[in-house]
Chain A
Amino acid sequence: MTKKISAAQATTVRRPSTADPLGPNSEIGRKLKQYYDDLVSDEIPDRFASLLAQLEEARPAQKED
């Protein structure tokens, strides 16, 4: 009984994902995420924060006065 169930489960697990061709079962999908996560975790240059500060100075944030 127990053996039968686990065999059935094993078959289910081996079946390729039907929903997501770029999901965790896909080598391409995994590499894609690794590639992208690498980029996302890159250090962000300071220029963007100072750019937003400049923009804010030119067109200030909402003030109640």
Chain B
Amino acid sequence: MAVSQDFKADLLAAIPSLRAFAMSLAQGGDKADDLVQETLVKAWDKHESFQMGTNLKAWLFTILRNEFYSQMRKRGREVQDSDGIMTGRLAVHPAQHGQLDLDDFRTALEQLPEDQREAIILIGASGFSYEEAAEICDCAVGTIKSRVSRARTRLQDILQISGEADFGPDAIASQVMGSSAA
């Protein structure tokens, strides 16, 4: 089966977000672009396995992510896990409240383990649902939720954000709400 024009157009249209995801994962322009290139080639080869009408973006993100981890394994780089590697790498200056600089944020994001970084990017920036992100990352929805939550907590720690606007609907927030209402 030949590759359809629509498929090519859809691939082209997906490149900006695919590349943004690659940049977030690979932390280097050249490596990210190589990832995107490899993803496009694979997608082209495998186009028959893509079901029209399903989420092309999610399918492409899955390919790119698999490629990223397989390259890391080939290079013998151990995939970071979520525990323990952060200590001593906290180089971000404390942010003024409400004045958080984008460079500081980028630096903080780079300090997250890959699994947390990809989770928070997919959910908080790429616009995927928890279910879609779980499929892309080949894990349970609950795992994505906990990674996002840990990523968010860690970013807050690194950036020293403790603004009231950043508290979720947790016990502390409700307490504060309750006492101010009383």
Contacts and interface: CB of A to CB of B under 8 A. Distances in A.
A62 B48 CA distance: 13
Looking at chain A's contact residues, the main secondary structure is: helix
B36 interface: yes
Nearest to A49: B12
B124 A22 contact: yes
B155 A28 contact: yes
Contacts of B169: 16-18
Interface of A: 11, 15-18, 21-22, 25-29, 31-42, 44-45, 47-49, 51-52, 55-56, 59-63
B181 A11 contact: yes
A28 B19 contact: no
B119 to A, nearest CB: 11
28 contacts: A16-B167, A21-B149, A21-B168, A22-B120, A22-B123, A27-B165, A28-B124, A28-B156, A28-B166, A31-B102, A32-B121, A35-B105, A36-B121, A36-B125, A37-B125, A40-B17, A42-B16, A42-B19, A44-B19, A48-B15, A49-B12, A51-B40, A52-B11, A52-B44, A55-B44, A59-B44, A61-B4, A62-B5
Contact of B125 (A35, A42, A55, A60): A35
A59 B100 CA distance: 48
